[in-house]
Amino acid sequence: MHIPDGYLSPSTCATLYVLALSAWYSALKRIKALWLSRTIPLISVFAAFSFVVMMFNVPLPGGTSGHAVGVAVAAIVLGPWGSTVAVSIALAIQALFFGDGGLTTLGANCFNMAVVGSFVAWWSYRALAGSAAGNSRRRIVAAAIAGYLAINAAAFVTAVEFGIQPTLFHDANGAPLYAPYPLRIAIPAMMIGHLTLAGLAEGFITGGMISYLQKAHPKLLKSVAAHVGETVDSSPIPPSAEPLRKLWITVALLMMATPLGILAAGTAWGEWSTAELAQHSTLAYGVPSGLQKLSGIWTAPFPSYAPAFVKNELFGYLLSAMFGVGLLLSVSLISAALARRRRTGGN
């Protein structure tokens, strides 16, 4: 679902940037009061969780691959606005440093996965969990279904964005300028893999994490209790140092396993490079000219999570994961230090 540069027209990118920026503005405005002391540490750890989860590729039908996003877990703990920020940060790091998704399409990717995914997860979880107790099995099942629905909603929106390109943007001869596959191809190609394996992976991860949090860190889940009439602040609950440290350890353990993520063969549908796209015999007009023009707009320093100075592919992938997680951990530590400084009046 990481749309590369060139697959969407400039006007489509601009529209989706406006939608994403509106969501970011609303999110930051809503969590501003808790920004340093409560929100950033949690947002950082769930951004890291999402970043790592997206590095685990799973094989999909048709020889392609896909991945979970971790958006539903973030939405259940942080609420939809905090989740929007967390997943957007993860996507921005992927695009800027690793070329996983484009810069022109970053607004689209954030809108699809961070905004649509977060709100679908939040609304469906609340509807399915109902008034069940915080430690009930019903909430685990609701979380799993919410994860499944969220990633499929994000995939569907992405497929529509792909599919409208050849209809709306083509040259005088009818040749597509950007993404070349119409809706009748884009929607089935995107949705079959997500309705099956990728959706199940997201559901399994979400249900498993909520089950773990119910036992280990139940206070983190209290942010979703307001809808059942409990007197609970709907903002994220600030964890103590120990639970937060355990969450970072969980992320670190997942990070160490990321080399497994490149064992799945095949590029994700719609994420091909221009060279890979040129090999598709179904493209009668060749690689679209607009796509070629925009595809080279940004060269990431560590493209495809493969630092040039590392010869071993598995180690390079792990090193990339360590870099991304380390960056987010640094943000968390710095924010915590600033919060302590503010509480002590700068002394």
Is 5 contained in some domain? Answer: no
- The structural domain count of the chain equals 1
Domain of residue 236 covers: 10-343
Q: Is 100 domain-assigned?
A: yes
Task: Give domain status of residue 288, yes or no.
Answer: yes
pLDDT at 96: 97
* Kind and range of the H or E run holding 3: none
Distance CA 91, CA 209 (A): 21
pLDDT of residue 345: 62
Question: Could you tell me if residue 1 is inside a domain?
Answer: no
2 within domain boundaries? no
**CATH number of the domain to which 144 belongs:** 1.10.1760.20
* Residues, the chain: 347
What is the pLDDT at residue 17?
98
Instruction: Tell me if 97 sits within 8 A of 230, measured CB to CB.
Output: no
Run of H or E residues at 298: none
Candidates 145, 153, 260; CA nearest to 203 is: 145
Q: Is residue 255 part of a domain?
A: yes
- The C-alpha atoms of residue 233 and residue 227 are separated, in whole angstroms, by 11
- How far apart, in Å, do the first and last CA atoms of the chain sit? 47
Instruction: Tell me what pLDDT residue 227 has.
Output: 35
3 state SS of 44: helix
176's CB contacts (< 8 A; 6+ apart) are: 165, 166, 169, 170, 285, 288
Residue ranges for the chain with pLDDT beneath 70: 32-38, 62-63, 223-243, 265, 280-282, 336, 339-340, 342-347
Neighbours of 249 (CB within 10 A): 10
pLDDT at 3: 96
Residue 106 token pair? 């970053």
CA–CA dist 191, 21 (Å, integer)? 27
* Domain assignment present for 74: yes
pLDDT at 149 (0 to 100):
98
Separation between Cα atoms, residue 320 and residue 94, nearest integer Å: 10
In a 10 Å sphere around its CB, with 0-12 CB exposed, 13-18 middle and 19+ buried, how is residue 279 labelled?
Answer: exposed
Check residue 39 and give its pLDDT: 73
Burial of 344 (0-12, 13-18, 19+ CB in 10 A): exposed
